[in-house]
Structure 1
């Protein structure tokens, strides 16, 4: 259950958190989005999906209808109402596309990040050249957006070094040490950057070696965003969009991340692996 006093995370993160809470409440009632929309008699079939994704603000009237349909307890409903009120503030301007901006705002509001990627380093720890190499190959990022998104990713990576918040636990598959997006020099620079981050007291980096076998979440990159108290969200991204998951998803993805940490080399051995790979390049 949500805490009564919610810290000011900013409207973008608040919309995402509210949407995840409502989605969890709907699923607890065993309702699909289509069944819920039908029960609410909403003409816009996509409205509920947008609210749950955190892409639109939620009015008091709509929130009251959702709370009644999902049988949300009064104390939690009151907390959601306060959260919805704060989330209706104007979003701050962003230099990246709207779909990417929501994740940027969420990270800025977080206290800790748990990141997993099986075959490359995520944008939050990318160097400029590494980010450009990957974004330039994207089929959903336009040429005009590439440099803006590169700047944003570099700023995100600097954030860990400069502010020490959020703290970071990064786990990658060993393939990330070999997939040379942008060429060997770009990969070497990326590995040097990750090694520097790994030496910070607020950052933990681990690599899952090839020989350790399968993963608990094969082929699936994701982020677990720790906000405040026990509030968690899972962020997953695919070629055409992204999703924010709460409640049971957080538990399942959290267990998968714990398994990855057990499979991975220790942080000390990981730094040695990265150093060896840098020397090979």
Structure 2
């Protein structure tokens, strides 16, 4: 049975504040010229704690933050903003159910200013219809049957929120297989394609398809999401497996952005992709 954890749709959640706080502290530490090990010693923290804080995986107390502000020489105005972030990062959230390892991702996409997704053989949860999501979740070996309907409904809510959100810039690249794999059957795929067509026609979204005859590209067998929370702040790369997920930063982000640029170059244009989607809808009618 898949484990579940508490998150919410409306509130991006303290994880976002933890990640932003961690990014600010890492930048301040680097500007101060301190290595992670040197900073850890001066802070009096146990080994590994600072890395967890900088990655957004651990919150800090007011006392710990005050020490970091002093050690890193953070200016008063910036320090006040960090204290606010730290307080937000310790809030509790009302419950909703998602797989435990996906908790951070659900919160991050809710707070993102830009999302870049690549899925080679299917459409991701952020754009799924109920029936398509239900069919995918029903085939999972880590999601319990009792959770399938609830999780499918939550994916629908996220898709609608994203579709109606004019502030989040959304890029989706899929492999041509996504247009042909009949997850849930012919009618379910048609309905899913009709929803993806809505995304493709949305002014804040760009949808592209990598065709079968496009040759080699940089991301065979790999799906991932690049998440930008705030303009000018570090992005995060999210990758997911059957039993867990990874959140990558720094050099990984640079590499994945280069890979995404390559995908955009080899994919069909947004207009030709839309035409391919409409043709496929016609074939499934």
Give the total of aligned pairs.
Answer: 265
Q: What secondary structure is seen at the aligned counterpart in 1 of 2:199?
A: helix
Show the 5 A alignment for 1:215-226. Answer: 215-226=217-228
- Contact kept? 1:40, 1:65, Cα under 8 Å: no
* Alignment partners' CA distance in 2, 1:92 and 1:51: 23
Show the 5 A alignment for 1:81-96. Answer: 82-96=84-98
- Please name the residue that 1:4 is paired with: none
- Please name the residue that 2:4 is paired with: none
* Alignment partners' CA distance in 2, 1:29 and 1:280: 61
1:257 aligns to 2:255 (yes or no): no
Q: What secondary structure is seen at the aligned counterpart in 2 of 1:96?
A: strand
Task: Label 1:148 to 1:212 Cα distance change in 2 as closer, same or farther (>3 A).
Answer: same
* Alignment partners' CA distance in 2, 1:188 and 1:241: 30
Task: Label 1:108 to 1:181 Cα distance change in 2 as closer, same or farther (>3 A).
Answer: same
- Contact kept? 1:20, 1:245, Cα under 8 Å: no
Task: Label 1:73 to 1:279 Cα distance change in 2 as closer, same or farther (>3 A).
Answer: farther
Task: Label 1:266 to 1:82 Cα distance change in 2 as closer, same or farther (>3 A).
Answer: same
Structure 1 position 58, deviation (Å):
2.8
1:14 aligns with one of 13, 17, 41? 17
- Please name the residue that 2:134 is paired with: 132
Unaligned runs of 5+ in 1: 1-7
Could you list the per-position Cα deviations for residues 238-277 of structure 1 after superposition, in whole angstroms to 9, with x for gaps in the alignment?
1111222222222211111111111110011001111122
- Please name the residue that 1:200 is paired with: 202
Scaled by the length of structure 2, the TM-score of the pair is: 0.78
Q: Say which is worse superposed, 204-213 or 243-252, in terms of deviation.
A: 243-252
Unaligned runs of 5+ in 2: 1-10
- Contact kept? 1:234, 1:244, Cα under 8 Å: yes
Could you list the per-position Cα deviations for residues 10-36 of structure 1 after superposition, in whole angstroms to 9, with x for gaps in the alignment?
41211234456778979x98879xxx8
- Contact kept? 2:36, 2:51, Cα under 8 Å: no
Structure 1 position 147, deviation (Å):
1.4
- Please name the residue that 1:155 is paired with: 157
Q: Say which is worse superposed, 150-159 or 10-19, in terms of deviation.
A: 10-19
- Please name the residue that 1:146 is paired with: 148
Q: What secondary structure is seen at the aligned counterpart in 1 of 2:276?
A: helix
Q: Say which is worse superposed, 177-186 or 150-159, in terms of deviation.
A: 177-186
Scaled by the length of structure 1, the TM-score of the pair is: 0.79
- Please name the residue that 2:190 is paired with: 188
Task: Label 1:17 to 1:235 Cα distance change in 2 as closer, same or farther (>3 A).
Answer: farther
- Contact kept? 2:170, 2:204, Cα under 8 Å: yes
